[in-house]
Each structure stands twice: as structure tokens, then as C-alpha cells.
Amino acid sequence: MTAFFEALLANPAVILTVGAFVIFFLPRHLACAWCLLVTAFSAIKLYTLGLGEYGALHVFGEQLTTVRVDPLSRIFAVVFHIAIVLNVIYAWGQRDKAQNFAMLAYPAACLGGVLAGDLITLFFWWEMAAITSVFLVWAPGTRVTYLAGMRYLAIQILSGVLLLGGVALTYRETGSFAFDMMGLRDADGAVKISALVMFLAFGIKSAFPLLHNWVQDAYPKSTLTGAIILSIFTTKLAVYSLARAFPGTNELIYIGVVMTLFPIFFALIENDLRKVLCYSINNQVGFMVCAIGLGTINGAAGYAFGNIIFEGLLFMALGAAMHRTGTSKATELGGLYKTMPVTMALCIVGALSISAFPGTLGFVTKGLIIDGAGEAHLFWVWLGLLFASAGVLEHAGIKIPYFTFFAHDSGQRPKDAPLPMMIAMGIAAALCLGLGIYPDPLYALLPDQAAIADYHPYTAYHLIEQLQLLLWAVLAFAILILVKWYPAEVPSTNLDTDWFYRVPGRALMSWAAGASRATWIALWGIFSGRVQALMARVYSVHGPEGEMARSWPIGFMALWTAILLALVLVISFIA
């Protein structure tokens, strides 16, 4: 029992989880300050632990390592703490206890998953992340968000069930719960079923193509702060898991490239700018997945770190506009730069960073991935990633700030963002620029120090390559605007893969429910009819009026006795 509590106390994720439950007993106005305090405790715990394995537990004869801090898990753990702090500051003054609880408990679960040294611990936190995050989807409390939350939960739980299946199969194959490099294929090149199941579990959470649409379905329906928190953690936990278990897996290269490409087109035609950013998550995670496939773990981890900051900044800026105007629709926004200049400027920093302009966090991290594709001599992959980079510029670099703050004048003149939001966005923007100009502190956190030692982002070639790509893409945008070929935003719903389970899938379920009800009624009718007929027959024989219940007169009995005796005599005589 002592070992159990020691294991709990060694885990920063447990500190955050306990802190989250305490929120229910605190006065509402203290919740955010408490969240900051608990996050500070967790960060100190992480720092004092240092690299190593902690929190060993023996369960059913197997040793579990509940905390593993190594260079790969450390960079994710560090950026998760930064993200929690930014979220808490952004949501300062938020009084909703359920959201405040989820604001700590959900990142805690993802942190626990990142620090998990074995598959059982990973599974526990994986499911905790699903359960705690759904409160953020449900937070607005409408029927639409309830249904979206249920769909989200079903998909997340499916991922958890697959993970559990993968864990069981892996244990049967290897006799171990170790969460390490497993690879998709065995020594003979055949796909391992256990690894494939696990791969799918990670794939659902990292939103692989065709499995991606839970992001666009659930995240934009959450609250302002909820959408920001959701956008950060789940997919990055999945990216970490892929980087841990499947580095250098060839299939991931192509899955990643497809992930970077297809969301670009959906983002182009999407009117809801929060949904545009959700497509951007798919696209950005695609870069990380591709990097994992290429074996460029520095690229995946570094870009995950950067993306959490600059994508979060874009979500925050859009959230601030939404807070002031009540909408995130491009058709209803525009012209806000006149009264929200600070938010606009901070949003542009995020946009420049996600587009990977030199001097920003995006530039010093994305280059690791593009260079990785070049060094692998995969021309089409490299070309695809460059194409996707132009796409990022289009939907995240230009569309978000342009339609929110410029474009047509919506006539709205709201105040600039509230101070806590500005502080959070300011810190994020400072990180985007600070680490973009001086990336050494970030590079020191990257898992493969030998590889990063040879990488220099600010070479003349890198700068020219990136500036050519981006400036000429911006020029294309300017021309399209001038000749009025850039498509106008249209209020619409764009179908995506969720259509399959929301329309035909729902119809099929309704039909199946109706058919099973009709079948049951018919079977019950047949059964109860037969039983009633049998009971009627029994009643007719044994009931008060039945043959067997009739009273027999003595004379009748004497007559029958005489007949039977006569029959016996006749038979005896004949015999």
C-alpha cells in the first residue's frame, strides 16, 4: 500500500488530478488561482524528478512504471505545462466548476499518458483523457453539444477499447507491458496484429484521414476556453504515442502527407473559422505524423511543441473575437482591426508562426520535418509537404486573421480582448517570436541531441527557400483578391466523414432499432398466441366447465362398470 501511495506522489499528473477535484470544494473566484498553483506544483515535481523512471508498482506479478521522464516525454510534459498555464490565464475568472475541473483534469490525463512507462498506465490515462475532455464538449449545455459529446465519447472509447485489445495481444506475444518501440511489422516484414490494433487506437486519437472528423464535429461546439484546451492535448498525446511506439514506420510517412493535404481544401470552403482551425489541427498533426514516419523524432516533438503555442494563439485570438462578437463565422466577422488592434496583432504573430515565416517558432521547427523528407530523398513526400505549407499559409496564415479582422467590414465595433486573454495571448506570441529568433532553449529539449547539433535553421538557403515559398504564395493571394477570384465565404455546412455516421449511419441505426422492435413484437405475438391457445385448451379440459372437471352420477358409473364387465366376459369367452 505504501508503494502505491509513493507511486501516486511521484506522478505530476496525479498532483494535477487531485488539484482538479479540489476545485469542487473551493469558492468559484479562487478556482483559476488554484489551477495556477497546482500547475506550478506539478511543474516543480517534474523538474525535481529529472530524467529517470519512477512510481514502480507491482500488479498481478507485473511491474508497472507509472512515471518515465526521458527526453521524448519531457518535451511534451514541458509544453503541456506551458499550455495549462496559458489556458488558465486566458480563462481567468471562469466560474463554471465543470469547465475548471476539466481544465486541469483533462491535461492531467494527457500528461499522465505522456509520462506512462507501461501500456497499462497508458491505457488508464488514455481513458481518463476521453472521459474528462467530454465535459468540455458538453459545457455549453445544448442538445447539439450533447449529441456531439456522445459521438465524441463513442469514438474516444472505441480508441480506448482498441488500445486495450492491443495491450492484451502485445502481452500475449511478448509477455511484457513495456511501452516502447514496437513497430508495425515483425522481422519477416509481416504486419503484427497486436501492433496494428494499437496503431489504429493511436490513429483514431491523432485523427488519421477518414478517422479525423471527430475533431471538427466536437471541438468547435465547445465553449471559448474549451475549444482551446481540446485543440491542444488529445492529438498531441496520440502523436507522442506514435513517436514512442512507431518511429520510422514507413506507412506513417504517407498517412502524414495525406493528413497535411486534404484538410487544406476543406478549410478553404469552411465558413466557421473555429472549424477552419480544426482542419488546421489535422493538417498540423499530419506534419508530425509524417516526421515520425521519417524517423525525424526531433521534427515531430519540436513541431508539436511549437504547434501547441501558435495554434493555441490562433484559437485564443479567434476566441477573443468570438467573446466580443458572439460569432466565429467568417460571413459575420470582419473589420475588427479597427477596435481590436492588439488582438489582431497577436493573431498575426500566430499566423506568421504557423506559416513558418523566418523569425518565428514555426520556422525553426517545421524546417526539421521538411529537411527530414529531403534527407530521406523522398521527392514526392518533400513536394507534398511544401504544397501543404502553402496550404497552411492559405487557411491558417491568411484566412483566420483576414476574415476576422479585415475583409469586409461587419460593422461591429467591439472592445479589444479582456486583459487576461491579452496576457495569455501576449505570452504565447512572445514564445512564438522569442523561440523563433533564439531557438536554443527549445532545441535543448529535443530528444535527439546528436541530430540537432548539426541543424542550423538560419542559413541563407533556408531563409531564401522559405521566403520564396511564402512570399510568392502571399502574392498569389493578393492577385486572387485583386481579380476577385478568391471565393466569397458562404454560410453552409460542409459534409465530411461524419456524414456517414450522422445521416446514413443514424438512419441504419433507426432502421435496425425499428426492425428489432418489430421482430420482437412479432415473435412475442406468436409465442403469446401459442401459449394462450394452449392455456385455453387446458382450461377447456381442466377448467370448471371442462371434461375432466365434470361430476359423474353413480348410475352412470354403474352402467359403465356393467359394460366393461360384459366386455371382459365376452373377450374371455372368445379366448
Partner 1 sequence: MSDQHEHHSGEEGWADKKSFRNAFLGVLVVASILAAVAGFVPAWRKEHPHFPAEEFGVFFAVWGFAAFMFIVLAGQHLRKLVGRKEDYYEERE
User: Would you tell me which residues interact with partner 1 (CB under 8 A)?
Assistant: 144, 147, 224, 264-266, 268-269, 322-327, 335, 337-339, 374-375, 377, 379, 382-383, 386-387, 389-391, 393-394, 406, 409-415, 460-461, 464-478, 480, 485-487, 490-496, 502-503, 506
Tell the smallest beta-carbon distance from residue 475 to partner 1 (Å). Answer: 5
Nearest to partner 1 of 416, 448 (CB atom): 416
Nearest to partner 1 of 144, 554 (CB atom): 144
Nearest to partner 1 of 85, 386 (CB atom): 386
Q: Which of 292, 249, 258, 262 has the alpha carbon at shortest distance from 381? A: 258
Q: Within 10 Å of residue 451's Cβ, how many Cβ atoms?
A: 16
Residues 444, 448, 451: CA angle, nearest 5 degrees: 95
Cell, residue 511? 432502421
DSSP code string of 344-380: HHHHHHHHHHHTT-TTSHHHHHHHHHHHHHHHTT-HH
- Please give the DSSP secondary-structure letter assigned to residue 457: S
- Please give the DSSP secondary-structure letter assigned to residue 29: G
**Sign of the Cα pseudo-torsion (301, 304, 308, 314, in order):** positive
Tell the smallest beta-carbon distance from residue 460 to partner 1 (Å). Answer: 4
Q: Within 10 Å of residue 299's Cβ, how many Cβ atoms?
A: 30
Cell, residue 265? 481544401
Nearest to partner 1 of 210, 522 (CB atom): 210
What is the C-alpha to C-alpha distance for residues 253 and 255, in angstroms, rounded to an integer? 6
Nearest to partner 1 of 85, 463 (CB atom): 463
Nearest to partner 1 of 181, 269 (CB atom): 269
Tell the smallest beta-carbon distance from residue 143 to partner 1 (Å). Answer: 8
Half-sphere exposure of 396 (CA within 13 A, CB side): 33
Nearest to partner 1 of 22, 327 (CB atom): 327
Nearest to partner 1 of 131, 268 (CB atom): 268
Nearest to partner 1 of 1, 460 (CB atom): 460
User: How far is residue 344 CA from its own chain's centroid?
Assistant: 28
What is the identity of the amino acid at 273?
L
Tell the smallest beta-carbon distance from residue 296 to partner 1 (Å). Answer: 14
Tell the smallest beta-carbon distance from residue 424 to partner 1 (Å). Answer: 17
Tell the smallest beta-carbon distance from residue 477 to partner 1 (Å). Answer: 6
Q: Which of 179, 204, 203, 182 has the alpha carbon at shortest distance from 192? A: 182
3-state secondary structure of 329: strand
**Helix (H), strand (E) at residue 168:** helix 143-174
Tell the smallest beta-carbon distance from residue 395 to partner 1 (Å). Answer: 9
What is the identity of the amino acid at 73?
S
DSSP code string of 266-307: HHHH--BHHHHHHHHHHHHHHHHHHHHHHT-HHHHHHHHHHH
Residues 106, 110, 111: CA angle, nearest 5 degrees: 110
Tell the smallest beta-carbon distance from residue 386 to partner 1 (Å). Answer: 6
Cell, residue 340? 481590436
Nearest to partner 1 of 97, 327 (CB atom): 327
What is the three-state SS of 82-103? HHHHHHHHHCCCCCCHHHHHHH
Nearest to partner 1 of 123, 382 (CB atom): 382
Tell the smallest beta-carbon distance from residue 371 to partner 1 (Å). Answer: 9
Tell the smallest beta-carbon distance from residue 249 to partner 1 (Å). Answer: 22
Nearest to partner 1 of 28, 537 (CB atom): 28
User: How far is residue 324 CA from its own chain's centroid?
Assistant: 27
Tell the smallest beta-carbon distance from residue 23 to partner 1 (Å). Answer: 22
Contact 84, 251 (CB under 8 A): no
Tell the smallest beta-carbon distance from residue 166 to partner 1 (Å). Answer: 33
What is the C-alpha to C-alpha distance for residues 522 and 372, in angstroms, rounded to an integer? 64
What is the C-alpha to C-alpha distance for residues 341 and 416, in angstroms, rounded to an integer? 7
CB-based contacts of 291: which residues, under 8 Å, 6+ apart? 256, 297, 299, 300, 303, 368, 369, 372
Nearest to partner 1 of 213, 298 (CB atom): 213
Tell the smallest beta-carbon distance from residue 341 to partner 1 (Å). Answer: 10
